[in-house]
Amino acid sequence: MPRTCRLHPFTVLALAAAATATTVAAGRWWLSVAVLLACLLLAAWARRARRLAGLAAAILAPAFGSQLLIHSMADTAGGHVLAAAGPLRITAEGLATAGALGLRTGVLVVAGLLCTLLVDRHDLVAAVDLSPAPPQLGYLLAATLLLLPALEQRQRAIGQAQLLRGATPGGGPRGWFRRVRLRSVPLVLGALQDAADRSAHLAARGFPAAGPHTRLREVPDSAAQRRVRRIALACIVLGPVAVLAPTWAGAA
Partner 1 sequence: MSTGPNRVLGLELARFRYSGASRDTLSGINLSLAPGSLTVVLGNSGSGKSTLGAVLAGMLPRHDGDALDATLHLAGQRIHHRPGAAVRIDPVGWARQVGLLPQDARHYLSGVRATVAEELALGLENAGVPRAQMHRRIAALADRLELHALLERDPAQLSGGQERLVALAALALDAPAVLVLDEPLAGLDAAVAARICELLDRLRSGGTALVLLARAVDRLAAGADTVLALREGSCHELDTAVPADAAPVAPAVRRAPGTRDEVLLGFSGVGIGYPGSARPVVEGLELTVRAGECVGLAGPNGSGKTTVLKAAAGLLCPSAGQVRGKSLAAGTVGLLLQNPSDQLFERTVAREVAFGLPRRGPAAARIPAVLDSLGLREHAQAHPYELPASSRRLVALATVLVREPEVLLLDEPTEALDADGLALLHAALAAVLDRGGAVLLATHDEAFMAATAHRVHRMGPAVAARVRDRTGGPG
The site for partner 1 (CB under 8 A) is made up of: 122, 125, 142, 146, 150, 153, 157-158, 160-168, 186, 189-190, 193, 197-198, 200-218
Which residue, 75 or 120, is less far from partner 1 as judged by CB?
120
Instruction: Tell me how far, at minimum, the Cβ of 186 lies from partner 1, in Å.
Output: 4
CA angle 57, 61, 64 (to 5 degrees): 130
Instruction: Tell me how far, at minimum, the Cβ of 158 lies from partner 1, in Å.
Output: 5
Which residue, 29 or 139, is less far from partner 1 as judged by CB?
139
For residues 60 and 103, what is the distance between their CA atoms, to the nearest angstrom?
Answer: 10
- Measured over the CA atoms of residue 195, residue 201, residue 205 and residue 209, the dihedral's sign is positive
Angle of helix 135-164 versus helix 172-204 axis, rounded to 10:
130
Which residue, 25 or 140, is less far from partner 1 as judged by CB?
140
For residues 183 and 172, what is the distance between their CA atoms, to the nearest angstrom?
Answer: 16
For residues 169 and 6, what is the distance between their CA atoms, to the nearest angstrom?
Answer: 41
Which residue, 164 or 251, is less far from partner 1 as judged by CB?
164
For residues 190 and 160, what is the distance between their CA atoms, to the nearest angstrom?
Answer: 14
Residue 89 near residue 81 (C-beta atoms within 8 A): yes
Instruction: Tell me how far, at minimum, the Cβ of 226 lies from partner 1, in Å.
Output: 19
Report residue 89: phi and psi, to 5°.
-130, 135
Which residue, 213 or 226, is less far from partner 1 as judged by CB?
213
Instruction: Tell me how far, at minimum, the Cβ of 131 lies from partner 1, in Å.
Output: 15
Which residue, 173 or 211, is less far from partner 1 as judged by CB?
211
Which residues, other chains included, contact 128 with Cβ-Cβ below 8 Å and sequence gap of 6+? Answer: 137, 138, 141
Report residue 244: phi and psi, to 5°.
-85, -25
Instruction: Tell me how far, at minimum, the Cβ of 197 lies from partner 1, in Å.
Output: 4
Instruction: Tell me how far, at minimum, the Cβ of 194 lies from partner 1, in Å.
Output: 8
Residue 168 near residue 136 (C-beta atoms within 8 A): no
